[in-house]
Structure 1
Amino acid sequence: MKKILVPIDFSEHSEYALETAAAIAKEHNSEIFVLHMLEISSAVYTASRDSLSDAGVFYFKLAEKKMNTFLDRKFLEGIEITPIVKHFKVFKEINEIVDAHAIDLIVMGSHGASGVKEVMVGSNAEKVVRYSNVPVLIVKYNPILVEFDSVIFASDFSEDAVASYLRAKSTFEKLGSNMHIIYVNTPDNSFKSSTEIDVLVTKFLKRAEGNLDNYPNVYVVSDYSVEKGILNFANNIGADLVAIVTHGRRGLSHFFEGSISEDIANHSTLPVMTFKI
């Protein structure tokens, strides 16, 4: 956990994310990259995509000034900070920053959403979750602690989820966390018997790790929805963090099928970490 990226929009929730990242950085001697994505109209671009008109330069310099003010925080003392201002047009370009600086984790603030706003607009955090190739930690409140001693990792134990499971396991080992692995059994077309779940989990762990050492840490939860099962289990064990795999759906697929990870990121009071398949 040596390099942490914090996308900001200078809001209160951005400050929560930055303070969370700072606490993690101090614990693991990490460097923080603070990114502001300057979403400006194409009208301020010149003929070259990498060039800006005079108006674009003005907004860019203004963002840099706001960045310097925003980073003047006591909790950042002693941490190596790299500020970045980019004139990205779409959120999937955040992976350019991730790849260029070998980022290990993205920490982002979110106010959550509900109802029509959630479906039609969504939040910046949702967009980053959809596109990011590295784990994304989403926080909504001023951090009280970031010692994630007890975390839950929810999975459907499909073959597609193996790589994400291994990334989560590695991430939480670095954080010194105790990972509870859960499967939520729901009364719909995805319902499985106890025997079917046992076979599913056994095959998954053998495929992922070649052994069943982690089997005692697997819990089966029955609930009316995956989201309710995850959040209720987290509350029952007093978890510090919820982790979940996301398919990164977008477009019509995302609109009709939804995304459990984004629902949980919206509705959970706990920090949420997502791992993209």
Structure 2
Amino acid sequence: MKHVWMVGYDFSQHSSALVRIAAGELQPQSGKLVLLHVYQVPPTPLSFNSMHIETSYLHQTELSKSIEEEASKGLEKVLKTLQAEFPSLEIVFLVKAGDPSKVILEKVEQLGVDRLIIGSHSRTGIEHFFLGSVAEKIVKHSTVSVLVVKHRDDS
């Protein structure tokens, strides 16, 4: 059975290191590595003017498309580098819009992922109370093994 591992990728140095660690561990097994970048389109203010709502929707759609295109370009570069470095691995990337924890968990199920590797940003206090932790939500609801790697500069 071919192993499928997924790494949550956010273009940080930390997630780049996670990808290399995962690829290095997975390479002897000739598995599949999925890099998943999830983004959220910032909300635009709405008014009760129907013309403004239509304009806001178009703006959101264009912004989402632009974010997805830029992320795809960036991941394409990462992919080429990784394929040269880890030739026995099948490496693919996905770019999706939405709530990061929900999208990641959905993709884990859809793709038959058997290990998930994500980074952790340590939120504390009021920020954690209102926003929670993506890593925490994923660990709580995941049906597969999750490796959460804390950033070195986090306390």
Q: Which amino acid aligns with 1:230?
A: I
Matched, 1:162 2:16: yes
Aligned-partner SS, 2:83? coil
Residue matched to 2:69: 195
Q: Which amino acid aligns with 2:118?
A: I
CA distance, structure 1, for counterparts of residue 145 and residue 14 of structure 2: 24
- The answer on whether the counterparts of 1:168 and 1:275 sit within 8 Å (CA) in structure 2 is no
Matched, 1:213 2:67: no
Identity of aligned residues (%): 24
Q: Which amino acid aligns with 2:13?
A: E
Q: Which runs of 5+ in 2 are unaligned?
A: 44-62, 85-89
Residue pairs, 1:37-76, within 5 angstroms: none
Q: Which amino acid aligns with 2:136?
A: E
- Return structure 1 stretches of 4+ with deviation > 6 angstroms: none
Deviations 1:171-202 (A, max 9, x none): 33356542111112333369553321123324
Which residue among 232, 237, 245 is the counterpart of 2:119?
A: 245
Q: Which amino acid aligns with 1:181?
A: L
- The answer on whether the counterparts of 1:183 and 1:219 sit within 8 Å (CA) in structure 2 is yes
Residue pairs, 1:75-154, within 5 angstroms: 149-154=3-8
CA distance, structure 2, for counterparts of residue 156 and residue 272 of structure 1: 17
Deviations 1:108-161 (A, max 9, x none): xxxxxxxxxxxxxxxxxxxxxxxxxxxxxxxxxxxxxxx771121111122342
Residue matched to 1:232: 106
Aligned length: 125
- The answer on whether the counterparts of 1:148 and 1:241 sit within 8 Å (CA) in structure 2 is no
Q: Which amino acid aligns with 2:95?
A: V
Q: Which amino acid aligns with 2:124?
A: G
Residue matched to 2:141: 267
C-alpha distance 216-168 of structure 1, shift in aligned 2 (>3 A)? closer
- The answer on whether the counterparts of 2:68 and 2:96 sit within 8 Å (CA) in structure 1 is no
Deviations 1:16-42 (A, max 9, x none): xxxxxxxxxxxxxxxxxxxxxxxxxxx
CA distance, structure 1, for counterparts of residue 145 and residue 137 of structure 2: 13
Q: Which amino acid aligns with 2:32?
A: N
Question: 1:219 deviation in Å?
Answer: 1.5
C-alpha distance 157-244 of structure 1, shift in aligned 2 (>3 A)? same
- The answer on whether the counterparts of 2:105 and 2:142 sit within 8 Å (CA) in structure 1 is yes
Q: Which runs of 5+ in 1 are unaligned?
A: 1-146
Aligned-partner SS, 2:75? helix
- Greater Rg over alpha carbons, structure: 1
CA distance, structure 2, for counterparts of residue 197 and residue 175 of structure 1: 28
Give the TM-score normalised by the residue count of structure 1: 0.38
CA distance, structure 1, for counterparts of residue 136 and residue 19 of structure 2: 18
